[in-house]
Chains A and B, each alone.
Chain A
Amino acid sequence: MTGASSSPGAQELVSLTVDGTTVQVPKGELLIKAAQEHGTYIPRFCWHERMKPVGMCRMCLVEIEGVRGLPPACTTPVTDGMVVTTVSDSVKAAQDGVLELLLVNHPLDCPVCDRGGECPLQDTTLAFGPGESRFTEEKRHWEKPIPISDLVLLDRERCIQCARCTRFADEIAGDPLITFNERGGHTEIATFPGDPFASYFSGNTVQICPVGALTAKPYRFKARPWDLSAVETSCTTCAMQCRGALESSSNRLVRLLGVDSDAVNHGWLCDKGRFGYEAIHHEDRVRHPMVRRNGEWVECSWPEALDVAAEGLRNALAGGGASGIAVLGGARGTNEDAYVWARFAKGVLRTDNVDAQLGDGLPAEVALGLAHATISDLDTARAVVVLGTDLKEEIPVLALRVRRAATELGVPLIEMNATATGLAPDATATLRYVPGEQAELVSAFIAALDGSASGDPEIDAAAAALAGRDGDIVVVVGRGNLAERVDATVAALAPLAARGDTRFLVALRRGNIRGALDLGLAPGFLPGRVALDDGRDWYEEAWGAVPAARGLDALGILDAAANGTIDALVLLGVDPHADFPDRDLAHRGLVGAKFVIAVDAFLTDSTQGADVFLPVTAWGEQDGTVTNLEGRVQRVARKVSAEGTSMPDWRIAAELALRLREDFDLATDDEVLDEIARVAPAFASVDAALMRRARDGVVLPVHEHSDTLVLDRLSIPLTDASWEPIAPGQVDPEAEPAASTDTAATNPAGTDADTDASDEANEVVAVVERVPVPALHVWDGIGTTPTRPGRDAYALRLVSSRTLYDDGVMTSATPAFGVLVPVAELRVNPHDHDRVGVEDGASVRVTSARGQLDLPIRSDRGVPAGSAVVVWNAPDRPAGTLIDAAAVVTDVRVESIR
């Protein structure tokens, strides 16, 4: 099952007879789906289970007792006692007819078509079709492939007018930029002249196109289906971690297809994730270790590089001691990487100066300690509040899930942001706040919710939208604006967290940030979501040592480094230059650190200046687990062998530990995960064996989510054609036939004797005998609104948020994205623009307390008066020069240049 229905079992069942066999199916389910879930595949082209049926292609015609003619199975809801025939002569005749007619204008260029070999039209014709076509007239002719976007090409001769792509763009993505043009036999897919199909989700149309009409530039002619092999994995481009089928051909990644996980991505991917794999093989990858010799990088052997790194760390310990050592990063890798690095940093180096974030996220206390919601909770929420983040830019597929909840399921959507976000068009209410003042807005909203009118009609309307609905309010919180200090967001969260009826999705962007924080890559925390002091005894037991006291976060570390008190700094796949809000401090910190170890796959502005470079394997080259933003542990898989001699992060940590006389005795990823399951409380019983069987992964802590656990990795293989929703487990070579669907493995106390998972759990119990398991961290909900400087009448308050594409390593290493990079400009409300008194696009001088730069100015109605926007990740990170990480907010003056 690809399971589109979010709450199966909830519906009333009716009996349906298909070709003689009677089955029980949910009342009102579409016949085509009900039949499919019980093993009868009715051919179809236009129907897609995640979209509304249109009954266009007429391929799914069946016979229904008592119904005249041949109704389409895709538009017919099942009624009790319905008797259906899908194989009679008249059905066969109709299918032959439709197929023959589809081929009337379809070119026979299969040999040169990307779809050739995995084409639904080809397959269906073989399976259900007539012999050969009797059409001898001239076929319809169109100019061969035309680009409809930077990523997608359209071959109109191959199009069979199923409207899957146009419906996706409109219904699912909310970007109706492609349409049917003309009529009847002349119908073609088209964009409006000059408006390309510029959607972050365009690649999905390629995947669901039932013919080769839509093809992806990156994949074109790269491979033929028959020499592809696939493995199921999770995309780690962002913290959504969409499920995907990763395909390679002769040891090169060539394609990522969305897998339809009901819990996570419903089969969709964003283009950044879908095409990001191109970076893996990029020529700029660092493939061998390097050390710096008189200023120059020179390649060297691993032992040599590791010795240099270990030496640097030993000297640091001998010098300033543990407090002089810091580790930044760790959100790029797997859970295994994060855990072993946490153990090395905190258990061996004994430093707590560890931070997976770069001052651009939320404090670990808050991120880990909020009452967590799952993504699927969005569908049944009383309301969804999106606070301080533009999900379409930061976590695109989460935006699709939120959009669906709002537009399909009628969940009120309250958008609270400093400027308009990509979800504004679908929002029930859009509430704006002055940067840094979100706490005031939230309090007013809560007051209105509790019956005392705020006086602001928009706020009251927003609150009114929740009237008569029950369930929890799901708050999706992010850190959109890097030009304001994080405590503005924390202060806004406090009153929400204090309520009993709120749950949170922490929308931090980095691929495995949730896993890194859960596994202790944050100051004051140890693996398994336990605070340093709560876990001290437990981990001294497990590791032998832990840091003496709470350490510094990224801001503190860079400050200290700038002041020369950091003797050794490890950059674990991070680029502070590009990502730390305060450009100037990042620079001074990196220069000030005495010894820098770069653990990365690319040379960046930040790693350029390091002393030793240890190249790591990338996504697609390494097995393991990751944790998405809802706390769901999922597997990532190795599909190609690592470039050069690069090593997984965790092995590097283990190697360095060895050189500091600590043997972790960890040989495989599975062994690491098993150790995590043993020692990290939040991961209790989440071991390799369980992960291999859990179809949709495991939400932590597992005993609280046992109901969502499906221990069954195989579902009915329909057709290998990727255009169909790909069921989880369908493409995984390791998938074992469905065993049980019992959820016995979910009791951390391990009272069930019969599953491997609980055996491991028993070992946890073994530890328990000596030291009690530390409790999982809960946030005390204390956040105070920082005092803000008054804003003088001429200043504008700066908003600097990310857009999906930037000039960062991953995107710039992916040719396909080139043109989609944002531009460096200052966007202000037309009213404020008038006050500056220069025309649109003119260059203006922007001055903050920290710095000054010149940018072109543009009017934007989405920006409220009094605020100003500079996209964070525009080339050269211009906003970074304006931001002082210590300042609560960033006010700028804007003057025309004379």
Chain B
Amino acid sequence: MSETETSPVGETRLITARLRERPDDSWTIEGALASGAYNAFRQALTMDAEAIGKEQVAASGLRGRGGAGFPAATKWSFLPPDLAPRYLVVNADEGEPSTFKDRMLVERDPHQLVEGIAVAAYSIGCHQAFVYLRGEFALGNERLMQAIKDARAQGFLGQNIQGSGFDLEIVVHRGAGAYICGEETALLESLEGERGMPRIRPPFPAIAGLYAKPTVVNNVETLSTLPHIVTMGGEKYAELGVNKSTGTRIFSLSGHVKRPGNYEVELGITFRDLIFSPELGGGTPSGRPVKFFIPGGASSQWLTGSDEHLDAPLDMDYVQQTFGVMLGSGAVMVYDDTVNPALVAWRLAKFFAHESCGKCTPCREGSGWIEKVLYRISHGQGRPGDLDLLFSVGNSISPGVVNAPFTQTTICPLGPSAVSGVASLHKYFRDEVVEMCSGGRPSIPVTADAGAGA
């Protein structure tokens, strides 16, 4: 693996190294092998399988990159010993608004993912892995299928891999347009051919997951990191990052920035670095101030352009404890002061209403109600009291909405996520919204289409 290049508040490239270095062939078997693909897996095959998880991954402090940030090694350790079959399921359903890192990893470095899957499968003793790939990713599907085919031909998949006696098959399973299937138990339902409705937990997937068998669900980025942990060693990897947020993460930066895109940075740099550093976001194109930004994907509550918020470090636990927001899926959406926050809140509400699986009453009915009211507000038909109404409806889904960690009356966190926008308006833009609701007009012309229910 190419040794890591760093620069002051610039990128720290591990998992994005190959695709940056070989923009023309990083996804081909030739390009991958030429840049050291599968060396880590070869090395892993010489190591004690369990030790990889219990020692290397544990020492690396690697936490899930899918949103929940759960320590990977700990999750693996929940598997009941010697119960077979057991499954590894890769969460490649990337649907969190403004998150586009997994798509890049699948389209432009599928072999790194296959290698990560192989390492994980070897370590947890699984012989059948499924990649749940978002349905809309046609190119990603083609390249991943090709990568699996080529890896097989090279003897990195199939029977008795590299003479180690270890077998592994990977099946790519296509989603079909349902954000909720990113939630791991809904994903398993969908993989079983059911409607993608989250399951009641317990039992957790590690105990009874796919086909009620022990199952580990990990995110694409999480798995893509494994080869580097094997080559670097867990300790060394853990030297990167800050506190319990070790290593690097890809942040999907979008919205009002000069240089939107995916940036792999060491955890611990600040939001200001990410948004303004000339090597990263480069500030707002208009030069206007940042009004607010969404730090961890649409599910997270928002932060503002205040120094307090901009100077906060990219540390999962810090932002959670200090501001009640999350780094979630690593998507950062930036809005300058021309944006009507109510309009963004409405579009998010519309998204969650559209994606609610419908299982829980509060989410199914509440998200739709919130969307309708926010539509009125953001389209100039707000009524006095609307914001308080929204807030109390939010409370029915997520009691104590504003002060994280919030509780939920629902099965999965999508319900509460649908309230994040409302909570953020309530926290930071109360006056502006109240004014909109008292016959005032939205502060910018409405650009979005009319009507609800995309």
Contacts and interface: CB of A to CB of B under 8 A. Distances in A.
A56 to B, nearest CB: 5
B311 interface: no
A470 B200 CA distance: 34
B54 interface: no
Nearest to A68: B407
A68 B411 CA distance: 13
Given A58-B409, A61-B409, A102 B355 contact: no
B353 A185 contact: yes
Interface string B361-380: 11011111100110000000
A97 B367 contact: no
Nearest to B363: A184
Contacts of A105: 365, 368
A97 B353 contact: no
Interface in A434-453: none
Contacts of A102: 361, 365
B407 to A, nearest CB: 4
Contacts of A849: none
Nearest to A69: B407
Nearest to B397: A97
Given A68-B407, A69-B407, A185-B368, A56 B361 contact: yes
Interface string A178-192: 001001111100000
A184 B364 contact: yes
A161 interface: yes
Given A137-B373, A180-B195, A94 B365 contact: no
Contacts of B411: 55
A184 B354 contact: yes
A57 B200 CA distance: 13
Interface in B148-198: 178, 195
B396 A161 contact: no
A54 interface: yes
A90 B409 CA distance: 11
A56 B359 contact: yes
A105 B369 CA distance: 10
B381 to A, nearest CB: 11
Interface in A93-140: 93-94, 96-98, 100-102, 104-105, 134-135, 137-138
A160 B364 CA distance: 10
Contacts of B399: 69-70, 90, 93-94
Given A98-B396, A100-B396, A101-B369, A185 B364 contact: yes
Interface of B is mostly: helix
B358 A70 contact: no
B373 A185 contact: no
Contacts of A90: 399
A98 B364 contact: no
Interface string A711-743: 000000000000000000000000000000000
Given A69-B408, A101-B366, A184 B360 contact: no
Contacts of B397: 97
Nearest to A106: B365
B357 interface: yes
A374 interface: no
Contact of B410 (A58, A104, A161, A180): A58
A96 B361 CA distance: 12
A68 B355 CA distance: 26
B356 interface: yes
Interface string A30-61: 00000000000000000000000111111101
Given A58-B360, A180-B195, A185 B407 contact: no
A138 B369 CA distance: 10
A75 interface: yes
B200 A55 contact: yes
Contacts of B300: none
B395 interface: yes
Given A75-B200, A137-B372, A180-B195, A187 B358 contact: yes
Contacts of B47: none
B212 interface: no
A75 B40 CA distance: 44
Contact of B361 (A135, A160, A180): A160
B444 interface: no
A149 B396 CA distance: 37
B201 to A, nearest CB: 9
Contact of B360 (A56, A69, A70, A186): A56
A185 B365 contact: yes
B369 A135 contact: yes
B143 to A, nearest CB: 29
B389 interface: yes
Contacts of A161: 358, 361, 364
Given A70-B407, A90-B399, A137-B372, A98 B357 contact: no
Contacts of B364: 101, 161, 184-185, 187
A21 to B, nearest CB: 26
Interface in B371-424: 372-373, 389, 393, 395-397, 399, 407-411
Nearest to A53: B200
Nearest to B408: A69
Contacts of A94: 396, 399, 409
Contacts of A180: 195, 358
Nearest to B405: A68
Interface in A150-197: 160-161, 180, 183-187
Contacts of A97: 362, 395-397, 409
B299 to A, nearest CB: 16
Interface string A73-96: 001000000000000001001101
B357 A183 contact: yes
A186 B358 CA distance: 8
B356 A185 contact: yes
Nearest to B389: A134
A84 to B, nearest CB: 17
Given A54-B200, A97-B395, A134-B389, A184 B409 contact: no
B360 A104 contact: no
B178 A104 contact: no
B397 to A, nearest CB: 8
Nearest to A77: B202
Interface in A669-683: none
Give the one of B356, B360, B373, B397 with max A CB within 10 A. Answer: B360
Nearest to A185: B368
A98 B415 CA distance: 13
Give the one of B365, B368, B372, B411 with max A CB within 10 A. Answer: B365
A54 B199 CA distance: 8
Interface in A312-329: none
Contacts of B410: 58
Contacts of B393: 101
Interface string A617-657: 00000000000000000000000000000000000000000
Nearest to B376: A137
17 contacts: A54-B359, A55-B200, A57-B360, A58-B360, A58-B361, A69-B399, A69-B408, A69-B409, A93-B399, A98-B396, A101-B361, A138-B372, A184-B368, A185-B353, A185-B358, A185-B365, A185-B367
Given A70-B399, A97-B395, 15 more contacts: A58-B360, A58-B361, A69-B407, A69-B409, A70-B407, A93-B395, A94-B396, A138-B372, A183-B356, A184-B358, A184-B367, A185-B356, A185-B358, A185-B368, A186-B358
Q: Pick the 5 closest A-B CB pairs, nearest first.
A: A97-B396, A69-B407, A101-B365, A184-B356, A187-B358
